[in-house]
Structure 1
Amino acid sequence: MASNLNEIVTDLSPLIKVYKDGKVERLISSQYAPPSLQDPTTNVSSKDVTISPEISARIYLPNNINPNQKIPIFVYHHGGGFCLGSVFSFIHHRYISLLVSQAKVLAISLEYRLAPEHPLPAAYQDSWAALQWVASHRDDENSNVEKEPWLIEHGNFEKLYLGGDSAGANIVHNVVMRAGVETLYGDVKIFGAFLCQPYFWSLNSRSKGSDEGKEESNIAYRMWMLAYPSAPGGIDNSMINPMADDAPCLSGLACSRLFVTVAEKDPTREREILYVEAVRKSGWKGELELFEAEGKGHGFHLLDPEDEEAKIQMGLLASFLMY
C-alpha cells in the first residue's frame, strides 16, 4: 500500500507544518514590500543585492547625508525561529526603514537560508559569509567579490554593528562568539551587537506560567529541533543555550558594546535575563546595556512600531548605533 505523502510529520501550528513528501507550509507571513530609492515616509533609499547564490540582502541608506559621509554599518538578522520570516516582508522592511531614518546608519538586512529545507548550521554559515562580504569592502583591492558602492562610499568600518530579533539575535550572538576565534577580512572588528529578545532555550527552561510537564511539548524546544535536528546536545547545544556546561566562555564575545532588550511577557525572557547575568559574570570587558519593555510580548515592536514601548526601544537602539 502506497504511503500517504500528504501526511503531516511535524505540526507546529500556528507557525509551520512539514509534510511527509518534504513540503513545508508556513502558516504566518507578511506581505512583500519592494525596495525604494526614496521612501516618502522615511526618506530612506533601499535596494536588493545578491551576496552569493545562497544569500541575498536588502541595503538601506538615509538620503539626508553628505555625498562622502561615512556612517555606522548595521548588519541585521530577522527572526522567525530559523524557519520563518524574510527581510523582504513588509514588517521587517518597515522596521529597518524607520531605524535607518532615525539612527542614520547604513543597514544590510540579510536573507539567510531557512530550515527545515536548509537545517542549521546553514543560517549561521550564511551570516558569517555575509559578514565576510561586508568586511571585504573595507579595502577596495585584493578581493574577488563584486563590490557594493554604498558600502565603499558611506560605510564606517570602525563602527560595524550586528543586530537581530529572536532567532536573528541568536545568530548574532553566535557570530560574535565566532569572531572571537576567527578573523574577519581585513581584520575588521565588530564594534557593537544588538540582541532583541534573543531566542535562547535549554532543557530546564519553562515558559512563564506554563504547567507543561514535558519539555518536548514546548514550542521553543520543538522549533529548535525542527531547525537543527542533528544538533549535538539537542536543546542544550551551546548555540541555543549559551550557558550550557560545555559552552564557550562568554568573555569571548568579540565586540566592545552589547545592547540586549527583553519583553516582560516574552516566554524566553527568563533565559535572556540569565544570559545578561552570565555575560556580566564572565569577565567580558565590554559595555552592556539592558532594556525591558513592560507588559509586552515577543516581537511587539515589529507588529506595532507606534507602540510607546516600541518607540522607546527604537530610540535607545538608535542612540546605541550613533555612539
Structure 2
Amino acid sequence: MASITPSTPKTVAKEIVTEFGTFIRIFSDGSIERPLQSPFVPPILNDPKTGHSSKDIIIPHNPTVSSRIYLPKITNPSSKFPILIYFHGGAFLFESAFSQLYHQHLKTLASQANIIILSVEYRLAPEHPVPACYHDCWAALKWVSSHSNNTLNNPEPWLVEHGDFARVFIGGDSAGGNITHNIAIQAGAEALPCDVKILGAIMIHPYFNSSYPIGSEPVIEPENNLFHQVWHLCYPNSPHGIDNPLVNPLGEGAPSLEKLGCSRILICVAERDKLRDRGVWYWENVKKSGWNGRLELFEEKDENHVYHLFKPESESANTFIQRLVTFVQE
C-alpha cells in the first residue's frame, strides 16, 4: 500500500490592500500598521524637572474611555486650576494620549499654564469608524463636568480638589481641532452636567475639508485627494461624503456656527501647512456667523503642520506655548 504524504498548507501572502503615505497600512489579513505612531511612554508622579504629575485613568462609559490626566505642581493645597480637555491629532487614524509626542507637549503646557489637562484616548478609525471618536470625547467632557458639584461616584480627586469648573476649556490639533469644533457645536445644543459651561475652545491646525477648494488649495480629483481618501476610510458611509458637517462646518445640514457653545475661540494656523487656508476659512465664517464670543486667530510664519510637536525646543514652539498660556490664563 502506497504511503500518503501530507500536503503542506499553502502560505497566503500578506499584501497591503490600503495605504495612505506613512499614516496607515491595512493588510489582506486584516492587520494594521501605523508607521508614524510615536512610542508610548508612562505617566509620572512629581516630575523632577517640572514638578507636574500625570497618571492614566479610566472614564466610565460604554465603552470605557481611557485618558491621561496632568496636574501642575501644587504649592498651595487649596489651589484651583483651569481644566483643558484635550483631543490629540493623527487624521483620526493614529497617535495616542499615551504617546511620547503628546506626553511631552502636554506636560509642558500643564506646567507652564498651571492647568489641569485631561488627554482623551478616543477610539481610532478604521477599526472604529467616525463618529466613534466624537462620542468618546463628548463622554469625557461630560464626565469631567460631572465633578463640578462633587456628588459623582468614584470621582477623580485631582479634579475635585483642584479643578476650577468656571474655567473649562476644550482643545486639540489637526483631527483633534476638528473634534474640538464638533464638541463645541454639541455643547451649544446640549447642556453639560451641573450646567458647566465651556469657557474657551482651542483649535490648532484644524482638519476641515469640502468637495470644493478654498483659498490657495489646488483643484484635485477626489480619487487623488488624500484628505478625501482619508475621510472616506475613517467614515465609509458618511452622508454627503467630504461635505458631511463633521468635516465641512458649512456643509449641507451643518448647524450654524453661531451656535458654538463656548465664550472664546482661539484658532491657530501655520503658514506652510496645507490646512492653513481651512483654518482661516473657518475663522472668517465664525466671524460672519453672528456667534457672540471672542474670536482670535494666531498664525506662525515659516512653519508647517503641528510644528510645535516635532520641534518642541524651537523658538516658534515656545512662542506657541506662550500664546496658549495667555489664552487660558486671561
2:188 aligned counterpart, secondary structure: coil
Aligned to 2:6: none
Q: Which runs of 5+ in 2 are unaligned?
A: 1-9
Aligned to 1:124: 134
Aligned to 2:228: 221
User: What does the per-residue CA deviation read over 1:124-181, in whole Å, with 9 as the maximum and x for residues that have no partner?
Assistant: 000011111101111222x4x4210000000000000001000001001001100111
After superposition, where does 1:24-173 map in structure 2 within 5 Å? 24-52=32-60, 53-141=63-151, 143=152, 145-173=153-181
Instruction: Describe the shift of the 1:136–1:39 C-alpha distance in structure 2 as closer, same or farther (beyond 3 A).
Output: same
User: What does the per-residue CA deviation read over 1:166-197, in whole Å, with 9 as the maximum and x for residues that have no partner?
Assistant: 00010010011001111111111111000000
Letter in 2 for 1:123: C
Instruction: Describe the shift of the 1:5–1:152 C-alpha distance in structure 2 as closer, same or farther (beyond 3 A).
Output: farther
**In the aligned structure 2, how far is the partner of 1:133 from the partner of 1:259?**
24
**In the aligned structure 2, how far is the partner of 1:223 from the partner of 1:120?**
11
Letter in 2 for 1:232: P
Instruction: Describe the shift of the 1:203–1:227 C-alpha distance in structure 2 as closer, same or farther (beyond 3 A).
Output: same
Instruction: Describe the shift of the 1:3–1:116 C-alpha distance in structure 2 as closer, same or farther (beyond 3 A).
Output: farther
2:146 aligned counterpart, secondary structure: helix
2:189 aligned counterpart, secondary structure: coil
How far is the alpha carbon of 1:205 from its aligned partner? 2.9
Confirm whether residue 18 of structure 1 aligns to residue 20 of structure 2.
no
How far is the alpha carbon of 1:3 from its aligned partner? 11
How far is the alpha carbon of 1:11 from its aligned partner? 1.0
Aligned to 2:4: none
**In the aligned structure 1, how far is the partner of 2:231 from the partner of 2:215?**
15
2:246 aligned counterpart, secondary structure: coil
Deviates more, 1:146-155 or 1:217-226: 217-226
Instruction: Describe the shift of the 1:5–1:128 C-alpha distance in structure 2 as closer, same or farther (beyond 3 A).
Output: farther
Aligned to 1:186: 194
Letter in 2 for 1:225: H
Instruction: Describe the shift of the 1:244–1:101 C-alpha distance in structure 2 as closer, same or farther (beyond 3 A).
Output: same
CA RMSD of the aligned region, Å?
Answer: 1.8
Aligned to 1:264: 271
Q: Which runs of 5+ in 1 are unaligned?
A: none
How far is the alpha carbon of 1:4 from its aligned partner? 5.8
- What TM-score, normalized to structure 2? 0.93
**In the aligned structure 1, how far is the partner of 2:177 from the partner of 2:212?**
21
Greater radius of gyration (CA): 2
**In the aligned structure 2, how far is the partner of 1:42 from the partner of 1:30?**
22
1:58 aligned counterpart, secondary structure: strand
Aligned to 2:3: none
Give the percent of matched residue pairs that are identical in Structure 1 and Structure 2.
46
How far is the alpha carbon of 1:15 from its aligned partner? 1.2
How far is the alpha carbon of 1:206 from its aligned partner? 7.0
1:81 aligned counterpart, secondary structure: coil
**In the aligned structure 2, how far is the partner of 1:179 from the partner of 1:3?**
52
How far is the alpha carbon of 1:5 from its aligned partner? 7.4
The answer to whether the Cα contact below 8 Å between 2:180 and 2:203 also exists between their aligned partners in 1 is yes
1:260 aligned counterpart, secondary structure: strand
Instruction: Describe the shift of the 1:153–1:37 C-alpha distance in structure 2 as closer, same or farther (beyond 3 A).
Output: same
**In the aligned structure 2, how far is the partner of 1:122 from the partner of 1:116?**
10
How far is the alpha carbon of 1:318 from its aligned partner? 0.5
Aligned to 1:292: 299
User: What does the per-residue CA deviation read over 1:67-123, in whole Å, with 9 as the maximum and x for residues that have no partner?
Assistant: 111110011110000011011111100000110111000110111110000001000
1:275 aligned counterpart, secondary structure: helix
How far is the alpha carbon of 1:9 from its aligned partner? 2.5
**In the aligned structure 2, how far is the partner of 1:152 from the partner of 1:209?**
46
Aligned to 1:6: 14
2:282 aligned counterpart, secondary structure: helix
**In the aligned structure 2, how far is the partner of 1:151 from the partner of 1:35?**
17
The answer to whether the Cα contact below 8 Å between 2:17 and 2:28 also exists between their aligned partners in 1 is yes
Instruction: Describe the shift of the 1:155–1:251 C-alpha distance in structure 2 as closer, same or farther (beyond 3 A).
Output: same
